[in-house]
Amino acid sequence: MEEGSQVEVAELSVTRDADDRVTVSKTTGPLILEALSAMSDPEGQKLIVRLGQWDPYGLRIEDVEGAIPRQIVDGLVWMRIRASGVFHNRGGSTGEVAVMELSRQVAARRRARVKLPMLVDDWDRWPQDLNSVMIKLLQACAQDSQVIVFAADAGRAGQQLISLDGRTNVASDALAQYDYRYESRRPNLKPQKRAAWVLGSTFSRQENRTCEFKEVKGSNPLGSIKGVVDQYAVAFLNAGDIQEGAIFWGIRDEDREVVGVRLTVRECDELRRVVTERLFQIVPPIAPTAYRIEIHPINDGRFKVIEDLYIVEVRVPAMRRTLLFATGGQEVYVKTDAGKKKLSTLELQQELVRRLGISPEI
């Protein structure tokens, strides 16, 4: 990875010895962690954009209009799209949804400190009636990020695209395209219905083995979350069943009241980075995209967002496996109905025996 004069190389090494023991080692640095943090934001930049994708949450339409070219905002096409209600997921044609999604990606990259590349899939299937507007949006996005466009007929699609230096891009035949079957193979992660978070309201769910509430007290919310996030993540990973666990900071556990966490915009970015760093140290490692870090704004009940007050949600998949996960400090936790529990040496042996199905009398 490169940023200016800074260059990093990340390596992941997996080896198996003669006794069939697997060893995993990895190296990383600040740039890698920043990229992983950016990828973990479901309301931020997308690595892959394809026709039909659109998520109206996370950005106001005013934020989008402030980021895209003025000539698009002032045009008749944009006025029609704005009036269709597509931004609030209340209508719009396929082409209008496509324009809005590209617009959102321009805005997401303008406000992001770490810029991710953007892969646009199946370009020759995108609506042709709004092609000129979508090309302008691709050019706007390319000012901040590397943009890679895939098409079944790359030669024909290449005639429509303009490279960064203004020349027509003569594309060669592409040998790669996105495999849609991957979506059905993603383990444990299901789309979550976003709720409206209202200060003082009562959260609908109860605490259990898949849901944990934490109130942040004191003046150091970053330190409070960083200190325990890997422990709860390990506890959920060690559930031993196919499920997904969630930790919510900003909900009082005794009465489930939404109280929020005080964070500035800078602290929100720093929170994603430090949480990603802690989760990246869990052993054995799992893909960083398996975790979800979401920061939800809180409103006052009259649809007015309260400044610098959020719910912090971290979602963790559980793995059905015999061996146990541990934190970077080699601590093993499991989830209980009352919270999480750190296993002692004896309890660790008992848990492994139970998972292996071995009689404790042997």
Nearest 10 degrees: CA dihedral of 180, 185, 186, 191?
A: 70
What is the pLDDT at residue 173? 45
Q: Please give the pLDDT value at position 260.
A: 94
AA letter at 324: L
pLDDT-derived band at 322, boundaries 50, 70, 90: low
Residues 254-307 have pLDDT tens digits of 899 999 999 998 898 899 888 988 888 888 887 777 788 889 999 888 768 898
pLDDT at residue number 245: 86
The reported pLDDT for the residue numbered 194 is 47
220: its two tokens: 């150091």
**Three-state SS string across 187-248, please?**
CCCCCCCCCCCECCCECCCCCECCEEEECCCCCCHHHHHHHHHHHHHHHHHCCCCCCEEEEE
pLDDT attached to residue 164? 41
Rg (CA), the chain: 23
**pLDDT score, position 4:** 65
Distance CA(102)–CA(93), nearest Å, equals 14
CA distances from 22 to 15, 166, 220, 323, 351 (A): 6, 51, 39, 12, 21
Work out the average pLDDT over 2-24.
76
Is 314 a residue whose pLDDT tops 70? yes
Q: Which of 37, 23, 31, 29 is nearest to 283 (CA)?
A: 23
User: What pLDDT does 36 receive?
Assistant: 74
Task: Give the pLDDT confidence of 81-116 residue by residue, as tens digits.
Answer: 888 777 766 667 888 888 888 888 898 888 887 788
The answer to whether residues 213 and 321 touch, using CB atoms and an 8 Å cutoff, is no
Look up the pTM and report it: 0.55
Tokens at residue 353, please? 């025996």
Q: How far is 293 from 310, CA to CA, in rounded Å?
A: 12
Query: pLDDT confidence of 186, banded at 50, 70, 90?
Result: very low
pLDDT value, residue 286: 76
State yes or no: pLDDT of 359 exceeds 70.
no
| Preceding omega of 284 cis (within 30 degrees of 0) | yes
Query: Could you give all domains of the chain from N- to C-terminal order, each with its CATH number?
Result: 41-184 (no CATH), 189-356 (3.30.950)
pLDDT category of residue 181 using cuts at 50, 70 and 90: very low
Instruction: Tell me which residue has tokens 């994603």.
Output: 272
Task: Give yes or no for residue 229 having a pLDDT over 50.
Answer: yes
Across 342-355, average pLDDT: 82
Q: Tell me what pLDDT residue 224 has.
A: 92
pLDDT digits (tens, 9 = 90+) for 187-200: 444 444 445 689 99
CA distances from 167 to 157, 160, 170, 247, 318 (A): 14, 11, 9, 50, 49
Share above pLDDT 70 across residues of the chain, in percent, rounded to a whole number: 78
Cβ–Cβ under 8 Å, residues 289 and 222: no
At 261 the pLDDT is 95
- Whether the pLDDT of residue 155 is over 50: the answer is yes
The CA distance from 257 to 201, in Å, is: 6
